[in-house]
Structure 1
Amino acid sequence: MSAVGGCSAQSATNPADRRSTAPSASAAEDPRMLSQAELEASRLTEKEMAALGYSSIWDDSSLKDLARRGRTAVEPMECIGLGDVIAGGYPHASSAYAQVNYSPRETAMISGYVVLASDSQFGARDFLSMAKNSLKKCDRYTHPGRGGGEITTRLEPGPSDNWGDESISFTALSTWQAEDGPMDRRQVFTLVRSGAVTIRFDLETFYPAQYPGKRVTPKINPALIAQQVNKVQAAQRN
């Protein structure tokens, strides 16, 4: 797994799966936060991920570990909402955090994370609102790379599928100068809110600027989103 956050095994999505993740009366009326133990138990298991065509491992990163990274500085500042989604993927006041690292089984060139976080319903809504506003106003931004230098990220909205209580999806195309030459990173994101819980899905792949073959933008299997959102909503109803 890369440390930066597909062509997934694209299985057909049952329309009932997609409908089941739409806002429902029970979900809207039950915004409850999940504890750390509940959130961890709400992750898809290795067996469930394998059935969707992914290799996966539960990550033991904690909120304390993530806090040490700090917030990514972006320019212009109107892009900060999307910068937060891409760099961390969770509201800053979250009380619980859990993560799954995963990759399509047919290729090691694509990898990503499923990030679950529990905040107040206000905090979760604010996180989605900031991301949505940034996506309306911002089509590109720059930020410092972890190893120095500057990364330029271009943003493209869509697809417009609806998940949970609300969601957004977008593609981030980044370029920067690495030690061995220019690099190109392609990332896809879907951010979902279910009550007080946010779920970020992403997949990414890297190419050297001189890569001679066809460049592929990853795609997230809709069945993965449906199954993970359903599992979180079931935990919130219990």
Structure 2
Amino acid sequence: MNYFLPTDLADALAEARRSNRTLDATPWLATLQDAAQAYEVQDAVASALGWFEAGAVPRCWKSGGGSRGATLTHAPLPPAGVRTSPAEFGDLMFHTPGIEAEIALRLSKDVTPAQAAKLDHGDAASLVDAMAVSIEIVDSRWHDLAAAPALLRLADSQVHGALAIGEWQPYAAVDWASQRCETKVGDAEAVVREGTHPLADPAWLLPIWLRHVTRHGQTAPAGTVVTTGSWVGVLPCRRGDQVTAEFAGIGAVRLIV
């Protein structure tokens, strides 16, 4: 019988990152009972690895979900893996990396917990000042990701590896239903998608994400960045691959895995 606690899981995930190793998910399958515990593990891992200053709100996040009807998930991103395009990640260890092409949004103002509680999905234009194309390298501390349930993935920073962000552009209304995205990984044929954001509008998640960020009574500061979900699913990649993503009319980003 499994008697592991969430604190044990946090210790194991932190050590997996320190040692660049993966974990067998099987012993941990019954450790987490809900998302709140998974988020506690996220926070404990970040604290153990010294990713953020004590009491500070992380300045870069990932957020998203498979549809507007799904429960959105969120994770703060370690600063050492957040880089400006063109970016190289040869100094970081990845196990089974994949590529997600996304739009990142940047807050234009501080958002307090009280303000976050009142936000609705039409408030995006008043909350953000800029958008940029981004590529997330997804990667996991779970040896067999397919065998790791959603809560274990969430505890592992929602399987985040690294992030490259392109040039910031002024935020403006976009016809997201016809937005074209072209992503190319290494020598593979380019993947072209149009209007395929799972939430239809990347900014739709802002109120939900901000309520998560401010849930402990902290204010989300101006300049905080959030990536908003993949337009291409997860594309496989290998060490040394050059990856590009271009969103017509918005910009492009390039990285080397």
Structure 1 length as normaliser, TM-score?
A: 0.29
Structure 2 length as normaliser, TM-score?
A: 0.27
Decide which structure has greater strand share. 1
